[in-house]
Amino acid sequence: MHWLMVLVFIGLYAVINLKGNFAKGSEPRELMKALHFSLGLLAFGLVWLRIVFRLLGTTPAIVPTPPVWQEKLAKLGHLSLYVLMVGMPLLGWAALSANGKPVAFFGLGLPSLLAENKDLGHNLKEIHETVGTLGYFLIGGHAVAALYHHYFMKDSTLRSMALK
């Protein structure tokens, strides 16, 4: 599940950044937006599976055990990632709904979450974009921490992630 989510996030960020290469209203730009919406909703669905697996399964112990402050920072980082994976799709869906735009999951139309309200929609879109930018740092920090543990701490963090 971990690596599937990595692929979904790569796709999410790739298509939203590629969108800017196309003229407004063009077919390729609309395709990039539609893919971004669909991949966001896919992430939203997959995160619930991740949560179930996490609650039902066990997380491998890191050997050697990291300092307590690192464990607490890791828990905060993971919680932040889960908030991102749940909150961002809902925020995007709400922004589209408030802007009166259709929301589709790979072509399947979904109901609006909010009544049309352009001001609210604009604000929600701005928040979504800002949090999306913060997501780069959160995801990047997660990757850097895993590499730090593997190459400098020489513990089992990255090897155990390979199994997730």
Residue ranges with strand state E in 5-138: 103-105, 108-110
Question: What is the domain count for the chain?
Answer: 1
Single-letter amino acid, residue 48:
W
Separation of alpha carbons 151 and 157, rounded Å: 10
Tens digit of each residue's pLDDT (9 = 90 or more) over 72-96: 999 999 999 999 999 999 999 999 9
Model pTM greater than 0.95? no
User: How confident is residue 59, by pLDDT bands cut at 50, 70 and 90?
Assistant: confident
Q: For residue 125, what is the domain's CATH number?
A: 1.20.950
Average pLDDT, the chain: 94
**Domain extent at residue 54:** 2-161
Pick the more confident residue, 27 or 61: 27
